[in-house]
Amino acid sequence: MEKPLTQHIVPGRAPLSLKEYEKVGGYQSVRKILKEMAPADVQNLVKASDLRGRGGAGFNTGLKWSFVPMGPEVAKPKYLVANADEMEPGTFKDRVLLEGNPHQLIEGMIVAAYAIDASISYIFMRWAYKVAAREIIKALDEAYEAGYLGENILGSGFNLDMHLHTGVGRYMCGEETALLNALEGKRANPRAKPPFPQVSGLFGKPTIVNNVETLCCLPHIINNGAEWFKGLSKTGDAGTKLYGISGRVKTPGCWELPMGTTIRELIEEHGGGMQDGYLFKGLLPGGASTDFLVEEHLDLPMDYTAIQAAGSRMGTGTMIILDDQTCPVGFVHNLQHFFAQESCGFCTPCREGLPWVEKILLAIDRGEGKPEHLLTLDFHTKYLGPGNTFCALAPGAMEPLQSALKYFREDFERHIHEQHCPWSKAKVWQPS
């Protein structure tokens, strides 16, 4: 891999300063686009690279940009927002990029802003990412000082301002339209889509919201081309991916690897295999709002297409492992507690349904479950599913539940039958 996103990230070392970053080729893509490419060329190149959004949904980035109205008659300003509100349970990949190489994100944002002709940009960052915020502020100062941001960038006539905005620690703010409301100083409720933000976003103006990892791919695509990017992958989905593992493996962590690396390789080689005394039981492939996969799926490539075909989603690509000594009911209850707490309360199924699901799971976990509870849970996986709520929060929350009811149903039934949690004496690991 010639230029991975993480090539200049050394754990424990401060990120590259602007001077160091420039020495290793930093901001070359900005020089290139401003000198040689029109915004449409940048859009076409990124479309040709097949880059898909790394925030979790996997929407084609170039295609998303192409919905932004272009031309002199379009009302200005247009906005670009980097979604750095990384709060999906088990997900810590953007943090690595933010803390490790902030200039790479700024460079990627300049490329994206140029492609859609945006003149104002925001980095919307998770409140808890204090180190990342400190490094981004330093890097923004350096980039302004050097003329990569501000008026008439490198004498090109292109203007771009970039601001850091830190959230207040709500999961909801990662949903792009709730994020835009929060940026406008309003309550972070999701908006109806359509209109999509590409047409009517921040303050009603055309806006692109891209994930941090997505934006960090851009300088490399500009410098090396679409075919190079596609060639990095082992499968049909292009590029590299920041994969992560948490749970009882020997070496949990985050690694940049070719897209399509198999789940088995991730767990056994990079994660070091299961800890001694623990067996693999299942995994959530990309954060908590994805469906469980089990033993039969271990040889699947981790990419958008293969994981979807197996009935789940790659999501953020950072997996949470469930081991044989952790109670699956308690594990899912813990996740539903998080989702119920993070519901913005705007739409009724989510506001009322998630706490109800949480309550039932708690009852089952405590040995107070009734056989009809399983039917109520089955019902809720549909009632809170896609199409019945305003945004993806509740449908996402139902993914681990519906798949746990499919793959680990006997464990749920045992709790109800025995009126007791069979794992109750085991040490229970809880995802943070």
Indicate whether 78 belongs to the interface with ligand NAI (CB under 6 A): no
d(CA 14, CA 11): 8
SS3 of residue 256 by DSSP = strand
Q: Which is nearer to ligand NAI, 67 or 379 (CB)?
A: 67
Indicate whether 55 belongs to the interface with ligand NAI (CB under 6 A): yes
Indicate whether 174 belongs to the interface with ligand NAI (CB under 6 A): yes
Taking the alpha carbons at both ends of the chain, their separation in whole angstroms is 32
Partnered with residue 280 across adjacent β-strands are 323
Strands (E), 253-338: 253-258, 280-284, 318-323
CA distances from 328 to 34, 260, 325 (A): 53, 27, 9
Minimal CB distance residue for ligand NAI: 56
Binds ligand NAI by CB under 6 A, chosen from 34, 43, 79, 86 = 86
Binds ligand NAI by CB under 6 A, chosen from 164, 310, 362, 392 = 392
Binds ligand NAI by CB under 6 A, chosen from 87, 245, 329, 397 = 87
Q: What are phi and psi of 164, to 5 degrees?
A: -95, 130
Residue 275 · residue 401 · CB < 8 Å: no
CA distances from 87 to 34, 151, 287, 299, 413 (A): 34, 34, 9, 28, 32
DSSP 8-state class, residue 87: -
Binds ligand NAI by CB under 6 A, chosen from 50, 99, 117, 176 = 176
Stretch that binds ligand NAI, among 12-20, 83-91, 97-105, 369-377 (CB under 6 A): 83-91
Indicate whether 59 belongs to the interface with ligand NAI (CB under 6 A): yes
Q: For residue 83, which of 242, 214, 181 has the smallest C-alpha distance?
A: 214
d(CA 105, CA 111): 10
Residue 353 · residue 393 · CB < 8 Å: no
Indicate whether 50 belongs to the interface with ligand NAI (CB under 6 A): no
Structure tokens at 152: 């008439």
**Binders of ligand NAI in range 188-207 (CB under 6 A):** 196-198
Binds ligand NAI by CB under 6 A, chosen from 91, 214, 312, 343 = 91
Q: Tell the smallest beta-carbon distance from residue 247 to ligand NAI (Å).
A: 18
Q: Tell the smallest beta-carbon distance from residue 237 to ligand NAI (Å).
A: 15
Indicate whether 350 belongs to the interface with ligand NAI (CB under 6 A): no
Indicate whether 67 belongs to the interface with ligand NAI (CB under 6 A): yes
Q: Tell the smallest beta-carbon distance from residue 75 to ligand NAI (Å).
A: 19
**Binders of ligand NAI in range 256-295 (CB under 6 A):** 286-287, 289
Q: Which is nearer to ligand NAI, 148 or 196 (CB)?
A: 196
Region of 197 please: left (phi>0), alpha (psi -120 to 50) or beta: alpha
User: Residue for token digits 């020495």?
Assistant: 23
Q: Tell the smallest beta-carbon distance from residue 239 to ligand NAI (Å).
A: 17
* Residues in binding contact with ligand NAI, number by CB under 6 A: 27
SS3 of residue 184 by DSSP = coil
**Binding residues vs ligand NAI (CB under 6 A):** 53, 55-57, 59, 64, 67, 86-88, 91, 174-176, 196-198, 209, 286-287, 289, 313, 315-316, 391-392, 396
